[in-house]
Amino acid sequence: MTTQSPYIGRFAPSPTGALHAGSLLAALGSYLQARSRHGQWHVRIEDLDTPRCPPGTADDILRDLERCGFEWDGPIVYQSRRLPAYQNAIERLQQTGKIYPCACSRREITDSSINGIDGPVYPGTCRPGLAQGRIPRALRISTHDDLICFNDLIQGQTCQRLQSEIGDFVLRRADGLFAYQLAVVVDDAELGVSEIVRGADLLSSTPRQIYLQQLLKLPTPGYAHLPVLVNAQGQKLSKQTLAPALTTAEPLAALRHAMHTLSHPPPAEIDTLEAFWQWAPAAWHMANVPSQRTIAAV
């Protein structure tokens, strides 16, 4: 007899601004996928970049999730409290010999790089060792150019060559902060996340995360990248693009609207939060979610 391992999902907002229609989509998609599988759903606050996280924002996000009726499992994880775990991962990666210090300034990198899908492709300047007198700033990991592929539940087969499309990437920044790519891998493994449901703006980050999972000998979860909401200019809704905070909206209206966007139109009689949460997990089919990377916010 085989026992199926439990489904563990998560929502991992960066508390740079309040919950808005775009982040609600990621919360809802990950939640319904987990609940429809009778799985767990965890919330992790990605507050590593403290200068970009105004005080109180994480609490605002949690309060909005609660007001909408989301129920999470286990304690909330705060990345800002997990620095020793990231340091430990850096030390384990150092043992692979693939980490190197980088002395390049932002300016030097933009001047010497071609532009890739996620900014300048670092040309590996410091990989052979630092030139005399150069001061180490960031820590980078050497990449290779073999195809890294994964089968995304929504976006389909997705492949990338890290070295030529991304370049050796940063694990610890010049300001000492651990990079998102590292922290997310360590934390998802620690929670035992079996499937990651999040916005398609992170599709191009996934091969970096799979690479780190391989080097750290961690399991690779399943992936499902939801379309992200974009404004009329094609920009992702975010605090920077002035997305209105959800607090200004009625929770039920916001949830109904999010389900429409995810191609799960709620019947008219779903007119209370209670009715919504009774209906939504049973109605949820990932296969109905449009397999596109962006959706225009209306």
Beta carbon nearer to ligand GLU, 14 or 261: 14
3-class secondary structure, 214: helix
Q: Is residue 224 at the binding interface for ligand GLU, with CB under 6 A as the rule?
A: no
Give Cβ neighbours of residue 264 (< 8 Å, ≥ 6 apart).
Answer: 280, 283, 284, 285, 288
Out of 12, 27, 212, 254, the residue judged to bind ligand GLU by CB under 6 A: 12
**Segment contacting ligand GLU (CB under 6 A): 12-20, 131-139, 144-152, 211-219?**
12-20
> Which token pair is 77?
């994880």
Among 43, 202, 249, 254, interactor with ligand GLU by CB under 6 A: 202
**Distance of alpha carbon 33 from alpha carbon 87, whole angstroms:** 32
d(CA 31, CA 191): 15
Instruction: Compute the least distance from the CB of residue 13 to ligand GLU, in Å.
Output: 5
CB of 77 to ligand GLU, least distance (A): 12
Q: How far apart are CA 203 and CA 158, in angstroms?
A: 8
Identity of the residue, 62 or 126, whose beta carbon is nearer to ligand GLU in the bound complex: 62
Query: Which one of 13, 22, 29, 207 is in contact with ligand GLU (CB under 6 A)?
Result: 13
Residues ≥6 apart with Cβ < 8 Å to 11: 26, 27, 30, 31, 41, 42, 43, 44, 65, 72, 198
Quick one: which H or E segment has residue 119? strand 119-120
- Contact mark string toward ligand GLU, 26..55, x via CB under 6 A: --------------------x---------
The single residue listed with the structure tokens 């039920």 is: 252
Give the nearer residue to ligand GLU in terms of CB position, either 141 or 184. 184
Q: Which of 8, 138, 184, 191 binds ligand GLU (CB under 6 A)?
A: 184
Q: Applying CB under 6 A, which part among 6-14, 32-40, 61-69, 121-129 lies near ligand GLU?
A: 6-14
Told to check if 264 binds ligand GLU by CB under 6 A, we report no
For residue 269, report the phi and psi dihedrals to the nearest 5 degrees: -75, -5
198, 225, 257, 264: residue in contact with ligand GLU (rule CB under 6 A) = 198
The number of residues that bind ligand GLU (CB under 6 A) is: 7
* Counts of helices then strands in the chain (DSSP H, E): 9, 14
- 14 belongs to the binding site for ligand GLU (CB under 6 A): yes
| 138/273 Cα distance (integer angstroms) | 47
Q: Which residues bind ligand GLU (CB under 6 A)?
A: 12-14, 46, 184, 198, 202
